[in-house]
Structure 1
Amino acid sequence: MSTDEQVVATADPRAIASALTLFRVSAIVAGLAMFVLIVEMVLKYGFDNDVLTWWSPVHGLIFMVFAVATANLGFKVGWSVGRMIAVLLLACIPFIAFVEERRVVREVTPLTQ
């Protein structure tokens, strides 16, 4: 049994379920926030309209919460740091962020039971 499998085998299912819930909520909010950021960039650079300029730092804060939620879940289920970084990088691609969230949920849900 590898080290990663030992971490999963001894992890508390309730702690994993809690981390998964935080991950899901933050992933969905970060994915939606990305679309607002895209609208903000189109308005700013395409139409010289600064109405949503305040959104960039808010989006950054939301993404940082998502990064912490990803690390929290990743350490609880025994992911490598590379795997956690891959999840974060995939979350930077519109629409793919939602696909990756669903894939992670399908993968991790059995560990919560």
Structure 2
Amino acid sequence: MTETPQPVANPDTVRSALTFFRVAAIVAGLAMFVLIAEMILKYGLDNDVLAWWSPVHGLIFMVFVAAVVNLGFKVGWSLGRMVGLMLLSCIPLVAFVIERRTVAEVEPLIAADARR
């Protein structure tokens, strides 16, 4: 039996929060690859050409955290779920998987409100 998605309180704010989340997740996922390259260069090849990237990546990740919290509060996620998403996104490639699954979950909530 398939559950009917519950409509969200304000679909326009959820839609904008979802867009912000999508962009942040994709940028954070790409930034992870640059961080990995920076670490390989620094520790494997003794080259500090990308030494400036680590703080930039930290800032990008903080924006991602803000996007998760913003979307999470608007769709009613638990704090544990939000923290879980943040922790899972520290694994390379997982930010892209999280983005796709979150979009697949939240878009029907927005559409359910349009049908009301």
TM-score between both structures, scaled by the size of structure 1: 0.90
Aligned residues with identical type, % of pairs: 70
CA contact (8 A) 1:30 1:59 kept: yes
Q: Whole-Å Cα distance in 2 between the matches of residues 10 and 100 of structure 1?
A: 20
TM-score w.r.t. the length of structure 2 is 0.88
How many residues are aligned here?
A: 106
Report the aligned-residue RMSD: 1.0
Any stretches of 5+ residues in structure 2 without a counterpart? 1-5, 112-116
Q: Is the 8 A contact 1:16 1:111 kept in 2?
A: no
Give the equivalent residue in structure 2 for 1:5: none
Partner of 2:34: 36
Task: Report whether the alignment pairs 1:47 with 2:78.
Answer: no
Instruction: Pick from 76, 79, 83 the counterpart of residue 78 of structure 1.
Output: 76
5+ residue gaps, structure 1, are 1-7
Instruction: Give the residue type in structure 1 aligned to 2:9.
Output: A
Q: Which runs of 4+ in 1 moved over 3 A?
A: none
Letter in 2 for 1:66: F
